[in-house]
A and B are shown apart, each in its own frame.
Chain A
């Protein structure tokens, strides 16, 4: 008997008698608490290895502190201390000047998973689910047995409560270990300090604590940070902006992004309200006509009691809601794809289209008079047309969500942030208008720092941010990384091999701000590859690239001028000596004659440098408010067509050199492009660089 058969037939394993009774098994069956689940699956939250555990702990504490400060309208001042208590054992302390936490909430916030204020609302914030800091505390307790120590004070004259707390992983309930009335003296008016001891590993590199904090500083110019690493002196980053980012608005979910389960929940919890009324009150951008139209598509009476709508109808309603966000590629492209396909029509629609769920795909296909399981290659172009008409008929026009819920860093502050981190020569940035993926509005910002002390021989440094939080892990899995690769950096005067990062003294900043950042996993390490997201990042990078390219070219032109000038100057010295020796005219006088004539023949003018001045290209941030939001969808399309920088690329012009000794003075036909070639040629003749 094979092993496989054994597994399929457990009885065969032990023919004589049962091993456990249903009663015995039932006694073992119980709820699995969230905390127990995460204890066993710690990698889901970013605690897969000691180095990452240390980083995640600091990251969660810092994210929470910044969110709290911003929500309370306080300019954040953070102190981060990491000390190695003993070998491999670290004590992390993050102290903020935030609003503080009321005494009763402290244990729950730091020692109960899925507890928090952020999960239940749609609003841009660093934390999203209320897992992070409690999970960090849990990991610390698990590895060292030490509880989380919190000190918090909510105002001048109020006590600073000290709480030692750990999570009970069976019940997901906090357990305070010290006296509930413990206080300490704290000179701060308000703030919170959290201390966690854990087994970890401190190291340098791309994914280090240092890198994370440095990048946090870049994306948060309003943050003042002091950092005491385990080794080395205290690092202090002073604040570069006194402007708090505008407060992000909380929004209701948008119909485009709603998931079926969520829709069921909303309808069932709607009390005695009608369907149309519920839709209007629970979703953004749903007006009376929109609600009526959605109900009509789903075959529901708008005035029916929402809680009594049956599952099939809800599914239809859901399809109607998300349908208007679905799209298929241009009809000709799709038709030719279908003709060459081996799969069925449903698979093709899901594969080629965006925003389709299987239910929606089936719905649209059936409405087009086809069967979802029909072999795709049997579908005629005429049938494809019907399919497209069906999709069009299924779509209810719904405005994109308002964009005032998104708070970008802003072009000027992105450059300030980059300046604080990099000693470059050129900085630029660009903030895109708001766009939408799956009903979620988002804004992309990009910035570059170039030259100076940045390494010339390495690949560009890519700094990825989501809602101002640096992303350090899994760059290759990230949509930001993909978008950077998709930009043709060569056209901006940089080196780039196909499918690789550009090489040069370059740092690239990309920030994705959204009410709901599409991460690839709960560990929030990489942004998922939505076409809309990748495209927006690319467009932002291209805008920065254009400005950078103009600057690089101007710099090169300037350098060539200098090289040219010095070439003539050094030969004048030699020539003057020879002519003096032949004619007996004084060397100084000969030298002067030649030097005086030099400007008549060599262009030494220096081209103006574009985009180099700080702030020059820092356009206004998108104005908050409904007006800006409504305009959001429009300009996105228009800018997608923005010309790529192919029209004028002087550096790529073929070097246009005459024959040897053509006698034509070079300045008559000289562009920066071929002048470099000329300089190099002259030099190579003498066998030197």
Chain B
């Protein structure tokens, strides 16, 4: 009992107090949306307190974010989060720290909302990191510990990341025949030079507004390098399309932006990725949502998205030589097996494509198309794909 008394006197560590100052920079009006989020956080804390006062083991009920708890909604074409939840107890050797960390993050989000500030998830990691009173142990040792806690908090109180005033780093870029308003600034996406407009992690309509556009469709490309090639060729101008890339797996901001453009501007979405299981999966996340963020599929997925390739069957169709292929690695093969078991890859054509990749033991990067000429991708490949038939030149 003695050590507890001792640490009580010290209360909050110094670095914690310092971060308080930076966040409370002046009073402000709290909006309705923020008020709801604040209430959710406060309710969470009071319910834990009520449980412990009754001598119970306080618990957080967290929806399970794992394959076991998602299902593929065939009709809507979405991955949906199931009902199962896991309990996170404080009086549990393995969970005590996680429980404490969840409230630490909740506390910091509450302060952010009250201050009307938004910070990155890296900022909040540093803000919440300090040594546990009286020990050399840190509340968080690395950001990899705080990131999942944030996701836990989102699902537990059913609040979106942006509602918690958190954002991730900008990732991905966009150009195309459209003018937008980004937090008050008017931006002409036709005049973005070679780099494009960097896609922020929060793209809700209170921040990003779509204005005048001539675009007829959206082309999403996995890789920045291939995107740069198309931008250089002014592909978007010639074909009247919005051109985006996601620097690999599309981040939340990019996915939300795709969804909004598809929904609000009624633009069809085409996806161009490498011919390997990872590329296929990037497409599936954009189309149906992901396992980890299944609770946000509703607002991020674009079930009508179409896959423009690269398909294994394209090698023959576009006469790609064997020397531009790459051999599958063990991890690739293992991933193929996994994909083949996912419900959202159950369609016959996808199973055929995966089986073909497995059979040939070959994968192709988008750049392999350059073996047919620098402009082959813009002048031959994409136009031909867009003209072709479903299930033949493009997949659902």
Q: Is the CB of A581 within 8 A of B107?
A: yes
8 Å CB contact of B103 from A578, A665, A675, A687? A578
B326 proximal to A (CB < 8 A): no
Residues of A within 8 A of B41 (CB): 582
A681 proximal to B (CB < 8 A): yes
8 Å CB contact of B94 from A571, A579, A682? A682
Tell me the chain A residues, 553-593 only, with Cβ under 8 Å from chain B: 564, 566-575, 577-579, 581-583, 585, 587-588, 590-591, 593
Query: Which of chain A's residues has its CB closest to B41's CB?
Result: A582
Q: A583 CB to closest chain B CB, in angstroms?
A: 5
Known: A594-B52, A681-B94. A577 touches B4 (CB 8 A): no
8 Å CB contact of B137 from A564, A585, A666, A688? A688
CA distance A590 to B90 in the complex (A): 14
CA distance A682 to B4 in the complex (A): 20
CA distance A578 to B99 in the complex (A): 11
CA distance A18 to B56 in the complex (A): 111
8 Å CB contact of A660 from B11, B48, B94, B139? B94
CA distance A507 to B170 in the complex (A): 65
Q: Is the CB of B100 within 8 A of A574?
A: yes
CA distance A594 to B58 in the complex (A): 9
Residues of B within 8 A of A679 (CB): 93
Q: B67 CB to closest chain A CB, in angstroms?
A: 14
Q: A1 CB to closest chain B CB, in angstroms?
A: 76
Q: Is the CB of B99 within 8 A of A575?
A: yes
Number of interface residues of B (CB under 8 A): 53
Known: A579-B49, A582-B106, A600-B55. A587 touches B11 (CB 8 A): yes
Most buried by B among A569, A574, A601: A574
CA distance A574 to B99 in the complex (A): 11
Mark each residue of chain B from 335 to 361: 1 if its CB lies under 8 Å from any CB of chain A, else 0. 000000000000000000000000000
Q: Is the CB of A686 within 8 A of B138?
A: yes
Q: Is the CB of A583 within 8 A of B91?
A: no
Q: Is the CB of B103 within 8 A of A666?
A: no
A550 proximal to B (CB < 8 A): no
Residues of A within 8 A of B107 (CB): 577-578, 581-582
B18 proximal to A (CB < 8 A): no
A156 proximal to B (CB < 8 A): no
Q: B17 CB to closest chain A CB, in angstroms?
A: 11
CA distance A663 to B100 in the complex (A): 16
B389 proximal to A (CB < 8 A): no
B135 proximal to A (CB < 8 A): yes
A685 proximal to B (CB < 8 A): yes
Most buried by A among B62, B96, B134, B138: B96
A598 proximal to B (CB < 8 A): yes
CA distance A600 to B92 in the complex (A): 12
CA distance A186 to B41 in the complex (A): 93
A638 proximal to B (CB < 8 A): no
Q: Is the CB of B93 within 8 A of A575?
A: no
8 Å CB contact of A593 from B53, B59, B111, B134? B53
B88 proximal to A (CB < 8 A): yes
Residues of B within 8 A of A575 (CB): 90, 99-100, 103
B15 proximal to A (CB < 8 A): no
Q: B323 CB to closest chain A CB, in angstroms?
A: 46
Q: Is the CB of B133 within 8 A of A570?
A: yes
B212 proximal to A (CB < 8 A): no
Q: Is the CB of B100 within 8 A of A569?
A: no
Mark each residue of chain B from 62 to 79: 1 if its CB lies under 8 Å from any CB of chain A, else 0. 101000000000000000
Residues of A within 8 A of B55 (CB): 596-597, 600
Q: Is the CB of A577 within 8 A of B12?
A: yes
Q: A67 CB to closest chain B CB, in angstroms?
A: 56
Q: B247 CB to closest chain A CB, in angstroms?
A: 29
Q: A559 CB to closest chain B CB, in angstroms?
A: 15
CA distance A682 to B95 in the complex (A): 8
Tell me the chain B residues, 36-57 only, with Cβ under 8 Å from chain A: 41-42, 44-46, 48-49, 52-53, 55-57
B31 proximal to A (CB < 8 A): no
Most buried by B among A566, A567, A686, A687: A686
Q: B105 CB to closest chain A CB, in angstroms?
A: 9
Residues of B within 8 A of A594 (CB): 52, 90
Q: Is the CB of B137 within 8 A of A686?
A: yes
8 Å CB contact of A569 from B3, B52, B92, B110? B3
Mark each residue of chain B from 90 to 125: 1 if its CB lies under 8 Å from any CB of chain A, else 0. 111111110110011011001100000000000000
Most buried by A among B92, B97, B111, B139: B92
Mark each residue of chain A from 640 to 679: 1 if its CB lies under 8 Å from any CB of chain B, else 0. 0000000000000000000011110110000000010011
CA distance A574 to B87 in the complex (A): 20
Residues of B within 8 A of A568 (CB): 90-91, 96
Mark each residue of chain A from 261 to 278: 1 if its CB lies under 8 Å from any CB of chain B, else 0. 000000000000000000
B132 proximal to A (CB < 8 A): yes
Q: Is the CB of A665 within 8 A of B57?
A: yes
Known: A578-B104, A582-B106. A573 touches B94 (CB 8 A): no
CA distance A76 to B212 in the complex (A): 111
CA distance A662 to B138 in the complex (A): 25
Query: Which of chain A's residues has its CB closest to B4's CB?
Result: A569
A143 proximal to B (CB < 8 A): no
Q: B278 CB to closest chain A CB, in angstroms?
A: 26
Query: Which of chain B's residues has its CB closest to A685's CB?
Result: B97
Query: Which of chain A's residues has its CB closest to B96's CB?
Result: A571
A144 proximal to B (CB < 8 A): no
Residues of B within 8 A of A593 (CB): 49, 52-53
B141 proximal to A (CB < 8 A): yes
CA distance A483 to B51 in the complex (A): 58
Taking A570-B137, A600-B91, A661-B64 as known contacts, 11 extra A-B pairs with beta carbons closer than 8 A to each other, sorted by chain A number, are A566-B3, A570-B135, A571-B100, A573-B134, A579-B49, A594-B52, A597-B52, A597-B57, A661-B88, A682-B94, A682-B97
30 interchain pairs, CB-CB under 8 A = A567-B93, A568-B91, A570-B134, A570-B137, A571-B96, A571-B99, A574-B100, A574-B132, A577-B11, A577-B12, A579-B48, A581-B110, A581-B111, A582-B41, A582-B103, A582-B106, A583-B46, A590-B49, A594-B52, A594-B90, A597-B55, A597-B56, A600-B91, A601-B91, A663-B88, A678-B93, A681-B94, A685-B97, A686-B97, A686-B141
Give residues in A with beta carbon < 8 Å to B.
564, 566-575, 577-579, 581-583, 585, 587-588, 590-591, 593-598, 600-602, 660-663, 665-666, 675, 678-679, 681-682, 685-688
- Please give me the 8 A-B residue pairs with the lowest Cβ-Cβ distance, nearest first: A601-B91, A663-B87, A578-B103, A582-B45, A578-B107, A661-B86, A678-B93, A571-B100
